[in-house]
Amino acid sequence: MGMNVDFTLGEKRKEKQWKYQRSMLRTLSINDMKKDVQRRFFAHEGEETVSQLYLQDFCLDMGIDTFLLGAEFARFGYYGESEYKVMQRCPEEINAQIDQTVAQFTAWLNLDEAQANVYKDVATGYIYEWWRQGFDEGKKRYQLKLH
């Protein structure tokens, strides 16, 4: 007896998005992302503490989400919008990722306001970078698929 594959439109769209995300994740080097996290956030740290290990993982999660967000908006870039303009399409998501990252560092490392502001700059650079990488990879994918 064949399975009844009766997708609603929403489920079909979700499945398509999921497939796209999976294919995008294959292009992502978690190792490169780890190195970037090390370089940006932990360049001056000594041996790995529990909080550092937790924060590294947290940064990787944020980076992966951000990469996928960039990839999701890549079609606008493919159709001719500048990277800057496309970024303006998802400011809430991008700012939320920056703020969540800063909040985690602030909580785990007991940062004061001045220190938190330094981390905000670092987190902004990091989130922008991985959004951009997802955006670029997504654009490449559209070019391959549509030509």
Per residue in 52-75, pLDDT (tens digit) is 999 999 999 999 999 999 999 999
Inter-CA distances, 123 with 22, 65, 91, 113, Å: 25, 14, 15, 15
**C-beta separation of 45 from 134 below 8 A:** no
Query: Is residue 17 assigned to a domain?
Result: no
Query: Is residue 4 assigned to a domain?
Result: no
Instruction: Specify the pTM.
Output: 0.86
Query: Is residue 20 assigned to a domain?
Result: no
Residue closest to 89 by CA, chosen among 65, 101, 102, 72: 72
Reported as a pLDDT band with limits 50, 70 and 90, residue 16 is confident
Query: Is residue 25 assigned to a domain?
Result: no
**C-beta separation of 67 from 133 below 8 A:** yes
